[in-house]
Structure 1
């Protein structure tokens, strides 16, 4: 008899939880509808202050920067082994579309144990990071580090000892 009462108590608790869950789902749905409405709300600029030439000029800047960033990162990615896909930083343009305003790609910087393979890989890293027309600070740093590591490998190959 006592066991049956416990099951009835548990059953009523589960029923109340189910009702509360349904109420929360309705609230979540209303909040989602509210946020969707706010996202599609638009601002209409005053006709006397709005210039189509300015709009087009700004839009062209966004498009050109997007193209430049994508070409830059794809050049890096095609020149050496990478450990991840290209990551882009986006900004919303005046037309409401996303445009790449920055990006990065992670090179595989692991060094093989074989000195000849290591030298080839370091040369690839140096070339990949400096293959673009306008190098960023990160590009320059990677190229310098790869070049220094390559010089270190060559000096070790020639028998220099740095343990003094």
Structure 2
């Protein structure tokens, strides 16, 4: 197992020094799933939710969250993201919304945390906007799907 990079030789937390790392194109994709009652999903998809277009609000929240990841998660670098995409679609099961995100940049450190934060906050926003009609919703399966770039190269999750 690799050594944890956010700990120094004394075991104390530190921000990783990326000064000497090469600038490369980097991309990360993540997802989260929000399970809900079929009636809640129908309300969202038919545009009948009392709060309006909750998918649009969740998309904006995910984009904003990716841009603020360094403010939310200690020791994350502030990144100059060049692209953030948040896609939300009904799950094939008829009882979920699948949130998929993609973050890109050219830089010295990866964007995995930004993609994961975007997926998480988009799902949390959907929960917040729909809780009045369905308090039993569950956010699950927040995970990194793929990352490219940097010294470690390409990584892809096993299919769920």
Q: TM-score higher than 0.5 here?
A: no
TM-score normalised over the length of structure 2: 0.29
Bigger share in strand: 2
Larger Rg: 1
TM-score normalised over the length of structure 1: 0.28
